[in-house]
Structure 1
């Protein structure tokens, strides 16, 4: 399951092709990177995202370092916010950012996209090389199921909760989970959507 092969392409004028997670970083920093990995792995049946928890369910094991970090972060059922925070601050995410710095697409000090990075992302997005959830976060996923839930007192950063509600709903619909008695208690909760600005 080579993600970088799915989303690789010439993203600029003669430039090196970037992978899904490099584009996600340019669009929204390390948070967007991890959100994109969760969406990608869930869509491919490697992860289950239910009741605000992630669990490895598939037998496929990805080769991309970010995807591997997500799976390592949830060896058993784990709250999604814990997985996201762990991988955001992982060596794999840092390595991805440093690679973009070396390409001149992200600044070395604040790690924000440079002008060249923004142009690269715009070109790739216009060409359809980047999925909407990598560009705009989980808010780009279709709304669906009535399944909801709350994080309760879990320390979810403000702004992340409602984003994750939408992610859970959309992924449940895509996977055909529908609603049931337990579904009414599951899902995501909290803050305003936006899905990941930069670091």
Structure 2
């Protein structure tokens, strides 16, 4: 992503959990990540490296500076013996790799209604915020236009095929996830 023009020395509003209630927004984030053409094993490293080198100040919707906590990508192995800790870390890396493969390394079709599970919401918010900072022009259209892979043959109007789940019922969980990911920066 470093080859794209991020907003250097500028501000970037972080992606809020409520934005993930919009399936078109989630689809557009996933499809932009897919266009980066990275393997699942290198995707998270790429995101975290780009976040470290971005000259962008992340802010909340009110303009307050936000520090992004990336601890959700790690696993706590304190209190475990060396062998068990090593096995737990390997299993966690594999779960993370599989999630990236299924979420960000495949195109997201218009025939499905994508959503973000509550247990991976903090990681999705961080990835979406970094993508937003690196690709501001594309991010400005997330959820507002038909997705990047609009194909006339695959656009199905699935009227009456199943009931749509109420995505807004997750808002309480979303707010708890937000406080774990974004922490206000104390000004001295």
Question: What is the TM-score normalised by the length of structure 1?
Answer: 0.32
Question: What is the TM-score normalised by the length of structure 2?
Answer: 0.33
**Higher relative CO (CA 8 A, sep ≥ 6), structure 1 or 2?**
2
